[in-house]
Structure 1
């Protein structure tokens, strides 16, 4: 959801809690949008799924919008037990019949083995994984070692606060749906994801620090450049699968939600709220105007 390499970072900020932040800015002001009709108000907030515990991100605007909400909508359901994802990973991310060595070129496999061993993994430990899961694994490991914590991610914090306040928490997608956005990739898309991951792996947390610093400052131009532009140009199929199509679906869900009434706070990966195919753009195509909350 949420990404690690250039491709994963731009595609799925949210899929498996994969973003991080280094130094916290002295003044945090992430962007916030709102859509309204005569009896509905829905706030749209872009998130980062893994942060360092000291990261500052809650501004007065965000706090006020969240506290005003009757319910909260997340990109994906947040299980109480983090181990709930393991059966899905085994189902969709493991292939014991055909090892990675048989799916990759000798050069790519050698790079993967070197990266894994450099992270302290046993030789061949990734062989049962499908390419998409191997890509996420070798990308996530250095970020976690650098001190980034999934428990400090925005969704975790907001979910805890919502439950403490008695606010219902809903989701656009189930865990299984979100994992299948990776698992249903074509073999070529999977290999491309892994190759891109290995090509960019040395950039690691330093690159992500820059990206999330832009997020915390509300710099939408920098976010679009880091998260959207290259993926849209170089990986159009993956871009459509992980961003465009999902944004269209979420826009339809929000339009249906506006048929009701009340105030809602929607929190989805920041990559979904930037670029020409953003959630706001898809809402606009349905005749719903998203405005920046100043």
Structure 2
């Protein structure tokens, strides 16, 4: 994938870089490994790079458990995890996956642009921050766009392509091909607060939290109302646990600033984040989870 020429249709880029090896960055790396790419993951230090490698390794193990035809050895051989940002210099596509903070992301993108090839495409995995705001400090905003992946990345079906005001047509077309090469469906949206997915999904999730806070029903029953009544594959509270309550809080605060009080985070969400009840990643949120990220049975009616 490049800013000047499209790859072979349905082929993933040969080399992909990911800055940030947390849950999302590791998931993005995993998805590109499954599609055949060599993936460079860059973290801030050796310890974080090792943790990123372990996260991707755990994901590969779970993929093999679901599909014995996957060659884990091949996937691991195409993964590099380190702290040298210069390792991304020859990647055709580089994706920023650092925390959902405007200043942190702008700094990361500026550092990336200084080292990647002039023909490489640069992307952000933001779920709520304006792509145009992030592009404001870049020298080549035409090759920059949002690639909003969903958690868990390897098994999710959607990638939201966010087109900035300066994003080149060819870059958007290449992004569609890349997403399809991952076995996922692309949608293209213009840069707007919350894009399409976060704006709708967060609003539903916040209202579900308010209902739980008001004692309308248990978490399980609120989720069942949406999975059984509206055929949503996962309920809004379980989804919030999977995404991370801290991440959902950050997104809600960003959307509240841009779109007003209907996105104001409920007090329950703020309290749970302050208590460290972040969902699946911490083992407890609206549900309880084991170390492998599997939900544990619970008999609690409310939280």
Shorter-chain TM-score above 0.5: no
Which structure is richer in relative contact order (CA contacts within 8 A, separation 6 or more)?
1
The structure with the greater share of residues assigned to helix is 1
Q: TM-score, normalised by structure 2?
A: 0.25
